[in-house]
Structures are given as C-alpha cells and as structure tokens.
C-alpha cells in the first residue's frame, strides 16, 4: 500500500475502530473466562474435589457469575495468601489484575456465553487421583466420625509390606469424608520403631489439609520409604453435624530411578506460649540453625483459628534478614504449602527464624473466645505454631543424620 496521508488516516481509523470494538466487546465465557477458570479454579471446582460447585461448563458457571466477581475482587478466590513482597512460588494461584477485571466485567455484562468454537480444549482432569495412577495405595480402616463433639487425633498404622526400599516421586492423600477430615499427616514409621501416637521425629510423607495440592517432587529428588515401614496416618476429624464414615487413603508413585537427593520434611515449632486474652497482635517466634547444607523446596505455615500472619525468614551471611515467605492474611480454613519457584540452597549454619502472629481480639472474625488466654493444643480453639519446610539433601542422609553436625 502506497504511503500517503489518506492511507495513513484510513489505517489509523481501522485501528481505532478495532480498538473500540475490542474495548466495547464485553468478555465472553468461551473466549475469555473459561481459560481463566481452567488455569486457576477447576483444580478444586469440579466434581469429586473440595469446592461446593463445578466451574467446568458455561451452565456450571453462569449462575455463579456475580459470586465469582465478588469472590475474586475481595481476593477470597482462588485461595492464595503469600504477600507479593517476598518469594516466588511455583504453585502461585493468584490472579493478575487483568484476569480479575475479565471475570468481573463478564459478570457485569450479564455473563454472555460467546461462541463455543472459541473455547480452549477442555482440561483432561483425571477422575479420582490428581497424580498419575498410583503404583500403590494405602487406606485406613473405615472410621466412624460422630455427628458432634471434639475428637482427639486418631492414629492409624497401615503396613506397606515393602520388601525393598522405595523411592517415592509423588504422593496424594485423598480423604474419604472431605467434610470431616480437617487435616491428616502421614508419617513413615521405619521398622524397629514402636511409636504409635503423639510427637515424633519420624519423617513425614505428606501433610494434607484443605487446599493442599498433591506432592510431586522434581526429577532426581524423592522421599524414601525404607523396606518394612508402616505408614501412620494422624487424622484430625472435625464433626460436621451428621455422622460420617471416613476411609482416607494415600497413593504413591515410585521414582523411575534412584534419585540424587532425598526430600525430608522438617519443622520448627513452639508449644510453650500463652496468648493473652484480647491481644490483637501477639507474636511467637522460633529460630534454629541448619545443621547441614540443604536445598529448600517449600514452606508450610500452620496455626489455628486465631492465626493472623506467619513469616519465614533466613539470616544472610552478612547478617541481613531476608523474608522468604510472608503470609500476611492467614486464614485457618486454608492450610496451604508454598513451593519455591526455584529451590534455594541453604548453607550449613544458616539461621532460620519463623514468626507467627496471633489475633486474640474480638475483631478476629474466627476467634471463638477473646476473653480466654490461649495455649498450645490440638483442637482448633487451642493454638499451634508450626512452620514445616521441605528440604532436599544427599540421598544417603536420613533425618537423624541430617541433625548430626
């Protein structure tokens, strides 16, 4: 096309008209909204998963358009609580500002469908397991959860019958009764151990809590289940108004080859605190020194109802603190783990400081009783202060050896 002023004007006009159309066209379901739902919502919003309604089809999503707008604007959905100040996480589910606008504008425009031919291909969500079909599955015997009352932690030992050591590449805990399983920790009880309940130094295979994704360790890194081990499920049940039967299970996938690194789940915690009644901002810190070199993989804060914030910090060589994860709006109903986008090498001797903040005032919407002093305990109305962290160490080192300096 010859370059003359008429053409430039015409081109400019066409561009302006196209822009205007783009601006004027409200977001449509198939073209604009569905890709966002696939990326950020469907892992939970589909049948068999934890969310109350599926968001797979237009028919699913249409009645929820305004609720979706409100939930994403308020930052309630998708659940993700890492402060953008610090750290980058591989499992970051948060929406960009543009994605929030798309969902909100779609709702405001009356939730138009658009043309189904614009839809992205459906995500082939697996039925049941979110990991590939497991090589072995271990299930607890059915447990009868009563309709009400406080239930002490329950412990179920399930033998693996493994004749040889097994390296585990991926695991997924699936609760039988999602309503009543509040959280579950699956421990690896090595042969010779007689531990049955309570605190333990046994390695953890997986911590399950609402919002937790299955664990898939990077190539070359795996958890070890030694031959003859049992899996001990520690389950906290919270009755939900009607009796339920739970049979929680864990599926494991074996590593294809022996890994270079062994993954260990470590924790630093405090149980000697007393949170004064009414205190809106009570801090509890725990610190420690890494006994050996390790590659940090993930962080997982755990508190109960009065939890307000949690920070994981390391002290750099020159003494400066660096926050690795700050959860500034902690929400008890979501127990999430935060997987580092890039594993972080930590040197032997690194000082680590975890700080939990509790709000025991009447302003905390979940506080069951601001007039009480609160101490450590298992039940939700007691408190806990635990910072779990996964590290990868040389494959030959077990948890006990890791702590030998």
Chain residues binding ligand HEC by CB under 6 A are: 40-41, 43-45, 50-52, 64, 67-68, 71-72, 77-79, 93, 95, 211
CA-CA-CA-CA torsion sign (17, 18, 20, 21): positive
Q: How far is the CB of 73 from ligand HEC (least distance, A)?
A: 11
Number of neighbours of residue 51 by Cβ within 10 angstroms:
15
Q: Which residue has the tokens 């990991």?
A: 131
Is residue 263 a contact partner of residue 205, using CB atoms and an 8 Å limit? no
Q: Which is nearer to ligand HEC, 166 or 339 (CB)?
A: 339
Q: How far is the CB of 49 from ligand HEC (least distance, A)?
A: 7
Q: Which is nearer to ligand HEC, 179 or 372 (CB)?
A: 179
Of 267, 279, 268, 301, residue with least CA distance to 358: 279
Q: Which is nearer to ligand HEC, 93 or 183 (CB)?
A: 93
Q: Which residues contact 2 (CB under 8 A, 6 or more apart)?
A: none
Q: How far is the CB of 61 from ligand HEC (least distance, A)?
A: 8
Per-position DSSP letters for 345-395, written without gaps between them: EE-TT-EEEEEEEE--STTSTT-S-TTS-EEB-SSTTSB-EEEEEEEEEET
Is residue 263 a contact partner of residue 390, using CB atoms and an 8 Å limit? yes
Q: Which is nearer to ligand HEC, 55 or 374 (CB)?
A: 55
Is residue 232 a contact partner of residue 189, using CB atoms and an 8 Å limit? yes
Q: How far is the CB of 318 from ligand HEC (least distance, A)?
A: 38
Q: Which is nearer to ligand HEC, 261 or 339 (CB)?
A: 339
Q: Which is nearer to ligand HEC, 79 or 228 (CB)?
A: 79
Q: How far is the CB of 231 from ligand HEC (least distance, A)?
A: 25
Q: How far is the CB of 158 from ligand HEC (least distance, A)?
A: 27
Query: Rounded to an integer, what distance in angstroms lies between the CA atom of residue 96 and that of residue 76?
Result: 14
Q: Which is nearer to ligand HEC, 160 or 248 (CB)?
A: 248
Q: How far is the CB of 47 from ligand HEC (least distance, A)?
A: 13
Query: Rounded to an integer, what distance in angstroms lies between the CA atom of residue 84 and that of residue 3?
Result: 48
Number of neighbours of residue 95 by Cβ within 10 angstroms:
19
Q: Which residue has the tokens 């962080």?
A: 299
């Amino acid at each position: 096309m010859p370059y003359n002023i008429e053409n430039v004007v015409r081109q400019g006009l066409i561009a302006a008209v196209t822009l205007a159309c783009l601006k004027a066209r409200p977001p449509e379901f198939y073209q604009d909204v569905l890709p966002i739902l696939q990326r950020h919502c469907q892992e939970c919003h589909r049948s068999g998963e934890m969310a109350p309604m599926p968001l797979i089809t237009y028919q699913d999503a249409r009645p929820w358009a305004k609720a979706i707008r409100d939930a994403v604007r308020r930052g309630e959905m998708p659940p993700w609580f890492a402060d953008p100040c610090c750290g980058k996480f591989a499992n970051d589910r948060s929406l960009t500002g543009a994605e929030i606008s798309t969902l909100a504008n779609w709702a405001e425009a009356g939730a138009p469908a658009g043309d189904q031919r614009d839809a992205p291909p459906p995500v082939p969500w697996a039925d049941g397991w979110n990991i590939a079909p497991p090589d072995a599955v271990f299930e607890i015997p059915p447990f009868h959860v009563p309709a009400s009352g406080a239930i002490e932690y329950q412990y179920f030992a399930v033998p693996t019958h493994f004749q040889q050591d097994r390296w585990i590449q991926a695991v997924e805990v699936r609760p039988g009764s999602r309503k009543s399983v509040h959280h579950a920790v699956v421990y690896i009880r090595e042969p010779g151990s007689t531990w049955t309940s309570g605190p333990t130094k046994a390695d953890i295979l997986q911590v399950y809590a609402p919002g937790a994704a299955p664990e898939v360790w990077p190539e070359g890194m795996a958890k070890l289940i030694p031959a003859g081990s049992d899996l001990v499920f520690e389950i906290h049940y919270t009755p939900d108004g009607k009796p339920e039967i739970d049979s929680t299970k864990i599926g494991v996938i074996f590593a294809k080859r022996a890994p270079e690194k062994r993954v260990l789940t470590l924790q630093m915690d405090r149980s000697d605190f007393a949170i004064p009644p009414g205190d809106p901002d009570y801090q509890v810190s725990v610190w420690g020194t890494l006994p050996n070199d390790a590659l940090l993989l993930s962080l997982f804060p755990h508190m109960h109802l009065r939890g307000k914030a949690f920070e994981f910090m390391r002290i750099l060589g020159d003494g400066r603190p660096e926050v690795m994860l700050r959860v500034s709006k902690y929400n008890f109903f979501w127990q999430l783990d935060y997987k580092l986008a890039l594993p972080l090498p930590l040197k032997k001797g690194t000082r680590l400081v975890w700080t939990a903040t509790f709000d025991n005032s009447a302003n905390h919407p979940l506080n069951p009783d601001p007039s009480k002093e609160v101490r450590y305990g298992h039940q939700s109305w007691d408190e806990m202060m635990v910072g779990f962290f996964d590290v990868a160490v040389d494959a030959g080192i077990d948890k006990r050896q890791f702590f030998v300096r």
